[in-house]
Each structure stands twice: as structure tokens, then as C-alpha cells.
Amino acid sequence: MSLATVTPAEFAALGRLDLIARLVVEGFLVGLHRSPFHGFSSEFAEYRACFPGEPVTHVDWRVYAKSDRLYRKVFSEETNLRATLLVDCSASMGYGSDPARPTKLAYARLLAASLARLLLRQNDAVGLELFDSRRLGSVPARAVRRQLFEILKRLDDLPAGRGTALGPVLHEVAERLPRRGLVVLISDLMDSPAEVADGLRHFRHRGHEVIVFQVLDPRELDLDFKGEARFRDLERPDRTLRLEPAHARAAYRERFAAWRGEVRGACRRERIDLVETSTDTPFDRALLAYLSKRRRLA
């Protein structure tokens, strides 16, 4: 079975975040090199013999082990991008309609780990911000060998989220980022589109490029539940609702589509790339969306 066909649920079952990130990225890159999509930053071009006095940063030690000669990897383009991954840990992200699929937060965690590995593989600096209605923890952006370990450690120990207040927390993070770069927001965006747009506008005002991955559960899209169901607000557990989904489905889908349309419009006005995905979507699509954005910045 090709890694490109592995579902998020099958990846999540592996358990170890470092292993998942490695398999996702390596499988993605294998598929990418077989496709017509070329030109991404730090794309491997060729080997060149290493001369005395040169740094050994890009020496391929596997080739050395086989040939007893030092060869350096040459890349077609090398840039110094500074990227920050913003992961929404609010209680609504803990939703999952099917135990066989990851929750939205689990999907966001796997996606962030894979993006961090891909960024560092391209010699870019990458940092991490965790939040719900407030900042919960961060890893400053660096391009050092230990950085992936630090990010995975934070993602492995995600705090229990509470309510959502995207606007204020995005403003706070925007003020803290020291210089222009790429901001990657991974969230269900379950908040007022106007508040979300206002927070994202702050990043654009400070010169950052922004890409947003909106992660939703498939049942949030269609309300396709069978029989009477009881719904509970994850951010206000005292609020519950019992209903027959079939009776509310049409009105729900109409209102949900209208809300998503507002989110799309807000991102379009701020010139922000919005990638709509769900917890049953393979990670390839998200990584390709990032790479498309990254290519335009190179």
C-alpha cells in the first residue's frame, strides 16, 4: 500500500507522532517527485564531490557509507523562511463523530507535526503557538536540529482546551511575532467570521503571509446522524439539545453553508489562502496547499 493512500485514521493508529510525521512527509515527497509539481524551496538537484575545507552540513552519509567518498547534496534553491504554526486547542477541536477517525484536534496535531518536519527539511525556521481563548504555550521559531523534537514534545502534551476567542488571541500572537514570515493557522474557525478576519488582518498588516487550514468533522458538514440524537456544547457542557437530525438537516446545512461562505469571503478580502479540509482527508492535500503557498514566496 502506498503511503499516499493511507488515511488519517490509519496514521493516527500508529501512535508515535515522530513516526507519523516522518511517514507522512516521506510518502508525500515520493509522490511529489513522481508528479509534474516542481520548484519547491530546497528541492534536491544533484550530488557534487566535497572538497577539503567545505562544511559537511549537506554531506550524504549514506552515499559515503557505500562509496567511501564524500558527496554534498546541492539544492536548486535555498531560502530562509520563518514560519509559525498556530494550533487551535479549544474544546470544540476535541470533537469527533466517529471513533474510527481522529478528532479535529488530533488531525490538527498530526498536520502540524508533518508541516514542521517538512519546513525543517527545507532548512526553514519553524515555531509553534498553542491557544484556545488564550495562549497556552509556544516554541520560538528556529532552524536547528533539535527544533522538531521541541515542537513534537509540545504537540505530544497538548493542554486541555476551553472556550474559543480567536480574534483576541490572534491579535496577541501577531504582536509577539518579531519579524515578517509565514503564519499557518490550523483551526475549525468556530467563531464569528468578523472576529477571525480582524485577527488575521493584523498578521497581514504586519507583513506576514497567511495560510489557514480549516479542519472540520464530516458530520459537522452534513448532520448525517441516524435516529434521535443528543448534542452537547463542548465549550459549555451544561448546554444540551435533543432532536431528530433528519428534521433539522436542511436548515442546518443552509446556515452552516452561509457561515462557511462568510469565512471564505473574509479570507479572500484579506488575501489569505484558505484550505478547507476534514478529518477524513489525506494529509497530501494539506501539504500540497502549503507547498503552493511556499512556492509563491520563494
Average pLDDT, the chain: 82
| C-alpha to C-alpha distances, 108 to 139, 157, 215, 283, 293, nearest whole angstrom | 17, 14, 7, 10, 19
Q: Output the pLDDT for position 241.
A: 85
pTM recorded for the entire structure: 0.80
CA distance 240 to 204: 38
- pLDDT above 90: residue 89: yes
* Per-residue model confidence as pLDDT tens digits over 191-224: 999 999 999 999 999 999 999 999 999 999 998 8
Domains of the chain, with CATH numbers? 43-76 (no CATH), 82-297 (3.40.50.410)
Q: Output the pLDDT for position 230.
A: 86
- pLDDT above 60: residue 33: no
